[in-house]
Structure 1
Amino acid sequence: MTQTITFGTYTKRLSQGIYQAEFDPQTGQIHNLILAATESNPSYLDLNSSSFNFSISTTPQAGGISVYDKAWNILDRYREEGLSFCHVTYDDKRQLLYCSSYHQGRLVVFSVSEEGQLQLTDQLQLEGSGPHPNQEKSHLHQAILTPDQYLVTCDLGRDCLETYKVDSQGKLTLIGIYQTPPGSGPRHLIFHPKEKIAYLVCELSGTVEALIYNGRGVFEHYQTLSTIPEDYTGFNATAAIKLSPDAKNLYVSNRGHDSIASFAIARDGHLNLLDIQSTKGQIPRDFALSPDGQFLLVPHQDSDHLTIFSRDREGQLSLISHHQQVPEAIFSSF
């Protein structure tokens, strides 16, 4: 039986919005790529709600969020002049939507009604900077929920993670700050499903950090590893970070080096580098692991194609194909 994979894109050259394709878990190939929804620059999506799909929506004049039902019928759209989001997370328990703005350094919270209507509940304008030229101000890149249901943000511009308590009305209260090394640029965070460990990818330093998570927003540094070869001296910016379904491996994408770094996860959460493989394309901003963990699929922002790897028991990747066309894809999810 085939599975559905969804792609978010930029709509600057070839793409018209959100695409879907059928994935065959026996062969590792995709078929029947279709336009699921016409949308302006749907650069990040959240598909985890049982009732709704959420997509970033950005035009040259305004930006915001679109809410769709599961059949991709539009239910509501919020746009604000000059605003642009880069990440969105749905909180099913509180029926809240957390939206991160890289360019404006803003965190915006919406409530979502049973009909899919959005209502603004809180927003924070973050202030500060870092030593890197790309850190002239706050650049909020992600806001996600911790295992104990706090909200934690990654601020690339200020080199920090901030944790917030969220009340039933969608109001935020800061309760903790974790400072990353100066100039590292934290981008995305992911939590181990069983251990008190989180993994943080830092875009500007090209590193991944293992952090001990003690709950209530308290992080401790555990380990730092590079995601690129020691002898590589060209431009690189890390992007996506994903755990395999069995939580035995961690994967990180590199833009510039255009590769996937594969790590083995020890029982204590410690990382060991397995391999760094070319994705055979330009700008692998995101990637997706198949639900059974046997395949890793990498769309490319600039070369408009999908590279597919198989994954063995140790987590090593083997190239299957790199010829499927997906226009301007920068997000992928099953």
Structure 2
Amino acid sequence: MANKEAIAYIGTYTKVESEGIYRLHIDKKTGEITQNKLAGKMDNPTYLKLTDDQKYLYSVAKDGENGGVAAFAIKEDGSLDYLNQEVQAGNPPCYVDASKDGAFVVSANYHLGTIVAYPTEKNGALKAPSSSVQHIGTGPNKERQEKAHAHFAGFTPDEKFVITCDLGTDYVTTYALNDGVLEKVSDLKVKGGSGPRNLVFHPNDKIAYIMTEMAADVVVAAYDEATGALTEIQSIASLPADFSGENKGSAIHISNDGRFLYVSNRGQDAVVTFAIDAAGKLSLAATTPVEGVGPRDFDLDPSGEILLVSNENTNNVTVFGVNKETGALTLLQKDIHVPEPVCVKFINE
């Protein structure tokens, strides 16, 4: 019997009101939040990653003047049991991913321009970093691209490689992770000044979709699983040609059936829906206001029935129903208070 509720963890900034990571229970039919409470305390857990077995959660961590990654065990009641953290001098990273078996965690650090790999213990705790790569370079936007700004580091679906997006250099780089050591194997240069921010793979594992922050374009790239190389096959705007306001592209997610791609824009304050054709290329389908300001992230629940948006600037999350045949979003709830929300991660059903 299908679950009537979806459960999500929300990563946040803790600059004002928030105390860490929150856990929401959502009625999938009505969008009503049936539980909304703090799951684990942490300073600035802005991005989260749950392991495939749902036993552990990794988060960005800030500890005084140090930054890194923290590990939590997920308890039966959904609360988080702090295990440990690995932090180094400097600002915390902005993205965290974990391998399917949980053996490695990787992070991307916007401020430092670094990619770091962490082995893990059998109990989910983090070990000291086994590898760190420093990105170097600039882009044509002198204000935002004055140096490297690594924004994404994630495992490929086959887990042969780690792919990174660097907003500062306009490069999407593929690394092999051999015995815990990151080794560069391929680069994709996207349009100068576009600022690649985030990436998601099609369920067929052959196509990657890259969201750019400054251009708010989506780059479609073919993935060569033998070499790890990405080859651009399309670039499509998520904003209308006559949009003149300030905007930052943010999150990107795909439906489980691979028929629809969704991205969020901060400034336009909308989720944009694309239809995906048989070749993996995109066509614009709809633009849906998020009923908030600053949609930093969103996620589709595992059933694909609801989409939850975190609106950082208005301290609210918005729940949409998803038409799985058309990809259309229907507003269910909009005035749900979560302090300083950034990241949305649903648990598996």
Query: Counterpart of 2:328?
Result: 316
Cα offset for 1:92? 3.2
**Alpha-carbon distance in 2 for matches of 1:325, 1:93:** 34
Query: Counterpart of 1:332?
Result: 344
**Alpha-carbon distance in 2 for matches of 1:271, 1:196:** 15
Cα offset for 1:245? 1.8
Query: Counterpart of 1:63?
Result: 67
Q: Which one of 87, 91, 96 corresponds to residue 88 of structure 1?
A: 96
Query: Counterpart of 2:185?
Result: 175
Q: Which one of 147, 153, 173 corresponds to residue 143 of structure 1?
A: 153
Q: Which one of 194, 200, 203 corresponds to residue 190 of structure 1?
A: 200
Aligned-pair identity (%)? 34
For residues 121-171 of structure 1, what are the alpha-carbon distances to aligned partners after superposition, in whole Å with 9 as ceiling and x for unaligned?
A: 01111111111120000000011112332111111111111111111x201
| Aligned pairs for 1:286-305 within 5 A | 286-305=297-316
Q: Given that residues 96 and 105 in structure 2 are in contact (C-alpha distance below 8 angstroms), is that contact kept between their aligned partners in structure 1? A: yes
Query: Counterpart of 1:120?
Result: 129
TM-score by length of 2: 0.92
The 3 A distance-change label for structure 1 pair 108 and 195 is: closer
Q: Given that residues 229 and 276 in structure 1 are in contact (C-alpha distance below 8 angstroms), is that contact kept between their aligned partners in structure 2? A: no
**Alpha-carbon distance in 2 for matches of 1:296, 1:94:** 26
Q: Given that residues 218 and 235 in structure 2 are in contact (C-alpha distance below 8 angstroms), is that contact kept between their aligned partners in structure 1? A: yes
Q: Which one of 79, 96, 102 corresponds to residue 110 of structure 2?
A: 102
What is the identity, as a one-letter code, of the residue corresponding to 1:190? V
**Alpha-carbon distance in 2 for matches of 1:27, 1:245:** 21
Q: Given that residues 118 and 126 in structure 2 are in contact (C-alpha distance below 8 angstroms), is that contact kept between their aligned partners in structure 1? A: no
TM-score by length of 1: 0.96
The number of residues matched between the two structures is 333
**Alpha-carbon distance in 2 for matches of 1:152, 1:253:** 21
Cα offset for 1:60? 4.9
Q: What are structure 2's unaligned runs of at least 5 residues?
A: none
**Alpha-carbon distance in 1 for matches of 2:273, 2:181:** 38
For residues 166-206 of structure 1, what are the alpha-carbon distances to aligned partners after superposition, in whole Å with 9 as ceiling and x for unaligned?
A: 11x20111111111111111111111111521101011111
Report SS of the residue matched to 1:302.
helix
**Alpha-carbon distance in 1 for matches of 2:126, 2:203:** 31
What is the identity, as a one-letter code, of the residue corresponding to 2:264? S
Report SS of the residue matched to 1:285.
strand
Q: Given that residues 4 and 22 in structure 1 are in contact (C-alpha distance below 8 angstroms), is that contact kept between their aligned partners in structure 2? A: yes
Q: Given that residues 177 and 217 in structure 1 are in contact (C-alpha distance below 8 angstroms), is that contact kept between their aligned partners in structure 2? A: no
Cα offset for 1:248? 0.9
Report SS of the residue matched to 1:269.
coil
| Aligned pairs for 1:193-208 within 5 A | 193-194=203-204, 196-208=206-218
Report SS of the residue matched to 1:181.
coil
Tell me the C-alpha RMSD between the 2 structures. Answer: 1.3
Cα offset for 1:321? 2.1
**Alpha-carbon distance in 2 for matches of 1:202, 1:113:** 35
Query: Counterpart of 1:265?
Result: 276
Q: Given that residues 163 and 177 in structure 1 are in contact (C-alpha distance below 8 angstroms), is that contact kept between their aligned partners in structure 2? A: yes
Q: Which runs of 4+ in 1 moved over 4 A?
A: none
| Aligned pairs for 1:148-167 within 5 A | 148=158, 149-167=160-178
Q: Given that residues 106 and 125 in structure 1 are in contact (C-alpha distance below 8 angstroms), is that contact kept between their aligned partners in structure 2? A: yes
Q: Given that residues 51 and 99 in structure 2 are in contact (C-alpha distance below 8 angstroms), is that contact kept between their aligned partners in structure 1? A: no
What is the identity, as a one-letter code, of the residue corresponding to 1:89? D
**Alpha-carbon distance in 1 for matches of 2:229, 2:24:** 40
Q: What are structure 1's unaligned runs of at least 5 residues?
A: none
Q: Given that residues 63 and 87 in structure 2 are in contact (C-alpha distance below 8 angstroms), is that contact kept between their aligned partners in structure 1? A: no
Query: Counterpart of 1:23?
Result: 26
Cα offset for 1:117? 3.5
| Aligned pairs for 1:239-254 within 5 A | 239-254=250-265
Q: Given that residues 195 and 269 in structure 1 are in contact (C-alpha distance below 8 angstroms), is that contact kept between their aligned partners in structure 2? A: no
**Alpha-carbon distance in 1 for matches of 2:66, 2:307:** 34
For residues 265-300 of structure 1, what are the alpha-carbon distances to aligned partners after superposition, in whole Å with 9 as ceiling and x for unaligned?
A: 111111110111211111000001122112111111
For residues 242-280 of structure 1, what are the alpha-carbon distances to aligned partners after superposition, in whole Å with 9 as ceiling and x for unaligned?
A: 001221100000011111110011111111101112111
Query: Counterpart of 2:6?
Result: 3
**Alpha-carbon distance in 2 for matches of 1:121, 1:213:** 26
Q: Given that residues 76 and 118 in structure 1 are in contact (C-alpha distance below 8 angstroms), is that contact kept between their aligned partners in structure 2? A: no
What is the identity, as a one-letter code, of the residue corresponding to 1:123? S
Report SS of the residue matched to 2:232.
strand
Report SS of the residue matched to 2:296.
coil
What is the identity, as a one-letter code, of the residue corresponding to 2:268? H
Q: Given that residues 298 and 310 in structure 2 are in contact (C-alpha distance below 8 angstroms), is that contact kept between their aligned partners in structure 1? A: yes
Cα offset for 1:323? 1.1
**Alpha-carbon distance in 1 for matches of 2:296, 2:168:** 19
Query: Counterpart of 1:53?
Result: 57
